[in-house]
């Protein structure tokens, strides 16, 4: 018997080694991409350039000193000082200094332009000066500037070159970079090659594999330059998110191309399923209209069309719907860089509250210190994070689209609420139609939409929670209402719908206690996160509450006095009509005492809240009180009894209804 020519399994050794090499390559590539994404990718970097000398000048003395303007925008991070000089006749030594401290010295050849790059970390304010000096007089200075970048590139390969040590904020959070790196790790970016004997691939396939390898080498070389620049040069390179995505796509071109056919198939199936769903919804809608009588839906459809037409009036080319957010000129200078870098409408000198929530939407986790600095009361505003977070997710973090998404959230939730309220106010009678119109055109509802605030979406979340209670899905209701607490803290008052309608055994009371924990948990956990950020202390909201009835009575007296002095002006009666409507709603809800109805529990909670609201909520024209107690308005109209008392109560409880369309610019009939 002859001995074997090789050990058992030796024929599989090349395949095993190839797989190990492929796994090592995948791990190394994912780590490189994670390192680049976490440390060298910027999110909306704002270039700041202060040009000191724009046209050439000739030095009559060896040294020239240039005073600098206010450097507050460049404070807190290394700044780049760039000069372009020309030596006359003979080689010249040039020195660049800031406030008397030499930063760079270069030898300039004769009759040639020479660029001088230096960096320093100046304090903010005025009083700084740059000195450029040479060996002799007669040299020329063509350009001098101080900026936060040495240079930049636009287009497909977009990046900025900043001084070493520059933080490059805002950056991608490390946890998001880790998720991306983990996702890349499961891919197999190894170029196609034959690990086992088989037919030789076609020349086109070989050429594609060669091109992909060459592209991967170039990208890895570029990534190496980006990472090593921090250690071997005085500059730092920051890539734009789109540039990083493009370069990563070159590295992972093979798994991407392998995923294209399944993705196309999935898109085709999804499109067919979507068209089928649209057909089913359309058919169901047609049956609903036929069953209920289409004439009763005419007022509903007319209101929807009218309000949507009002929304289009806020649109501006280039700025989109940012006029609904109402940015103020007074807060523009301290706005986050991502906001200043994109076009948006500045509505008035001081703007309104939504301008701060929109900036939270650009950085919902408050990772960038500029976010807290841009908001008037960061801890108070950041507690209401749900809508900013939702806008950021819907727009995938793209700043301009984040603003549009934030402005449109109120519109989308208003449409959803319009459909949901048909559950309690179905078409078919004048009473239910009038009650539905009062809910959808309430002053607080229109003011919330026109100013992109959280009050309108809050009512939708409460209505969804009530619908879940009606469906006997208490745990779902607790979850929805818990999330609504991150929209407005007062939404937790709607948690009363989770209480048992009657006497409950101890076992059910334990379940109620667990639902109460679910209700409070999102807001409590989020506040704990905000505390960990150590946001600056503030006294926001001190005027929101007052002893019972104090601010309410003061507003009654002030409103009546104003109406008496300006009786001929329509607007003078707005405050009187508003407080009349809210008083009617509160008294009616307290009189009905319908504990078993979840809507009554919601309405009574807000009626009691109205009594302790402070002057900051009652004052103003229009007052914020109609938005704060908007759930009470909806509960009142849903619970209005159908009988002889319906129309008197409807008229008094919605006395300020004619003022609501003015918020959306639909006051042409007044």
Q: What 3 state SS string does 94-120 have? A: EEEEECCEEEEEEEECECCEEEEEEEE
Q: Evaluate if residue 669 carries a pLDDT over 70.
A: no
Residue 138 φ then ψ, to 5°: 95, -5
Report DSSP state, residue 161: E
Counting beta carbons within 10 angstroms of the beta carbon of residue 489, is it exposed (0 to 12), middle (13 to 18) or buried (19 or more)?
A: middle
**Class of the CATH domain delimited by 49-148:** mainly beta
| Mean pLDDT over each residue of the chain, to the nearest integer | 83
246-260 mean pLDDT: 79
Residue 593 φ then ψ, to 5°: 50, 60
Report DSSP state, residue 329: G
**Per-residue pLDDT at 511:** 82
- State the pLDDT confidence band at 141, using cuts at 50, 70 and 90: confident
**Per-residue pLDDT at 195:** 46
600: enclosing H helix or E strand: helix 598-611
pTM of the predicted structure, to 2 decimals: 0.60
Which residues of the chain are in CATH 2.60.120.260 domains?
A: 49-148
89-140 pLDDT, tens digit each: 788 888 888 888 888 888 888 888 888 888 888 877 778 888 898 888 888 8
Q: Are 83 and 105 in contact (CB under 8 A)?
A: no
273-297 pLDDT, tens digit each: 888 888 888 777 767 666 656 667 7
CA distance 372 to 504: 46
504-540 pLDDT, tens digit each: 555 577 788 898 999 999 999 999 999 888 877 665 5
303-327 pLDDT, tens digit each: 999 899 989 888 888 888 999 999 9
**Per-residue pLDDT at 553:** 87
Instruction: Describe the strand order of the beta sheet including 92-98 as a list of residue ranges.
Output: 63-67, 129-133, 92-98, 101-108
175-192 pLDDT, tens digit each: 888 888 787 777 767 654
**Per-residue pLDDT at 42:** 84
- State the pLDDT confidence band at 670, using cuts at 50, 70 and 90: very low
Residues contacting 626, CB < 8 A, separation 6+: 442, 443, 444, 447, 578, 582, 633, 656
348-370 mean pLDDT: 89
208-225 mean pLDDT: 83
Torsion over CA: 68, 72, 77, 80 (sign): negative
Lowest mean pLDDT among 31-45, 207-221, 572-586, 650-664: 207-221
Q: Evaluate if residue 668 carries a pLDDT over 50.
A: no
Residue for token digits 């939407």?
Answer: 361
Q: Evaluate if residue 460 carries a pLDDT over 50.
A: yes
254-279 mean pLDDT: 78
Q: Are 625 and 545 in contact (CB under 8 A)?
A: no
Highest averaged pLDDT of the listed ranges 73-82, 397-406, 621-630: 397-406
Q: Are 114 and 86 in contact (CB under 8 A)?
A: yes
């Amino acid at each position: 018997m002859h001995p074997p020519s090789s050990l058992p399994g030796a024929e599989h050794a090349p395949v095993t080694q190839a797989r190990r090499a492929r796994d090592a390559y995948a791990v190394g590539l994912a780590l490189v991409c994670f390192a680049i994404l976490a440390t060298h990718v910027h999110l909306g970097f704002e270039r700041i350039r202060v040009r000191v000398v724009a046209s050439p000048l000739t030095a009559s003395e060896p040294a020239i000193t240039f005073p600098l303007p206010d450097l507050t925008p460049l404070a807190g991070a290394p700044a780049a000082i760039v000069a372009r000089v020309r030596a006359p006749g003979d080689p010249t030594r040039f020195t660049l200094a800031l406030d008397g401290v030499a930063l760079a010295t270069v030898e300039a050849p004769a009759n040639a332009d020479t660029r001088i790059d230096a960096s320093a970390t100046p304090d903010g304010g005025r009083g700084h000066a740059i000195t450029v000096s040479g060996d002799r007089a007669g040299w020329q200075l063509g350009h001098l500037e101080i900026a936060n970048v040495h240079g930049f590139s636009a287009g497909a390969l977009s990046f900025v070159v900043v001084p070493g040590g520059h933080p490059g904020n805002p950056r991608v959070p490390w946890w998001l970079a880790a998720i991306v790196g983990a996702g890349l790790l499961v891919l197999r970016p190894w170029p196609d090659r034959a690990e086992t004997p088989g037919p030789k691939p076609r020349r086109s396939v070989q050429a594609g594999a060669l091109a992909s390898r060459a592209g991967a080498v170039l990208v890895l070389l570029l990534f190496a330059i980006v990472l090593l620049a921090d250690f071997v040069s005085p500059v730092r390179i920051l890539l734009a998110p789109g540039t990083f995505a493009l370069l990563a796509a070159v590295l992972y071109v093979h798994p991407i191309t392998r995923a294209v056919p399944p993705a196309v198939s999935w898109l085709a199936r999804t499109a067919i399923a979507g068209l089928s769903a649209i057909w089913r919804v359309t058919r169901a809608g047609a049956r609903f209209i036929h069953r209920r009588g289409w004439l009763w839906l005419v007022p509903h459809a007319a209101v929807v069309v009218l309000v949507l037409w009002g929304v289009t009036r806020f649109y501006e080319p280039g700025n989109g719907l940012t006029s609904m957010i109402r940015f103020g000129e007074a807060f523009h200078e301290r706005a986050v860089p991502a906001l200043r870098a994109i076009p948006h409408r500045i509505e008035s000198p001081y703007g309104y509250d939504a301008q701060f929530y929109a900036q939270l939407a650009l950085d919902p986790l408050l990772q960038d210190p500029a976010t807290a600095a841009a908001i008037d009361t960061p801890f108070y505003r950041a507690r209401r994070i749900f809508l900013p977070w939702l806008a950021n997710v819907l727009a995938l973090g793209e700043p301009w689209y984040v603003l549009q998404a934030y402005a449109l959230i109120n519109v989308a939730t208003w449409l959803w609420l319009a459909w949901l309220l048909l559950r309690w106010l179905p078409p078919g009678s004048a009473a239910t139609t009038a009650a539905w119109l009062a809910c959808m055109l309430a002053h607080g509802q229109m003011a919330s939409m026109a100013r992109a605030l959280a009050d309108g979406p809050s009512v939708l979340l409460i209505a969804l929670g009530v619908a879940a209670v009606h469906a006997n899905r208490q745990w779902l209701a607790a979850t929805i209402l818990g999330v609504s607490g991150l929209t407005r803290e007062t939404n937790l008052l709607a948690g009363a719908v989770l209480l048992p309608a009657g006497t409950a055994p101890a076992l059910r009371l334990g379940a109620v206690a667990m639902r109460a924990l679910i209700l409070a948990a999102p807001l409590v956990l989020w506040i704990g996160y905000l505390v960990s950020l150590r946001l600056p202390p503030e006294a926001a909201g001190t005027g929101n509450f007052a002893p019972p009835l104090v601010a309410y009575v003061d507003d009654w007296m002030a409103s009546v006095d104003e109406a008496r002095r300006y009786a001929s002006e329509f607007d003078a009666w707005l405050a009187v009509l508003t407080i009349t409507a809210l008083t009617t709603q509160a008294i009616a809800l307290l009189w009905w005492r319908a504990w078993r109805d979840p809507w009554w529990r919601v309405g009574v909670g807000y009626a009691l809240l109205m009594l302790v609201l402070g002057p900051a909520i009652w004052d103003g024209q229009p007052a914020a009180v109609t938005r704060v107690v908007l759930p009470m308005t909806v509960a009142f109209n849903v619970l209005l009894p159908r009988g002889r008392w319906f129309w008197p109560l409807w008229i008094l409880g919605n006395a300020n209804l004619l003022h609501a369309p003015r918020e959306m610019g639909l006051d042409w009939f007044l």
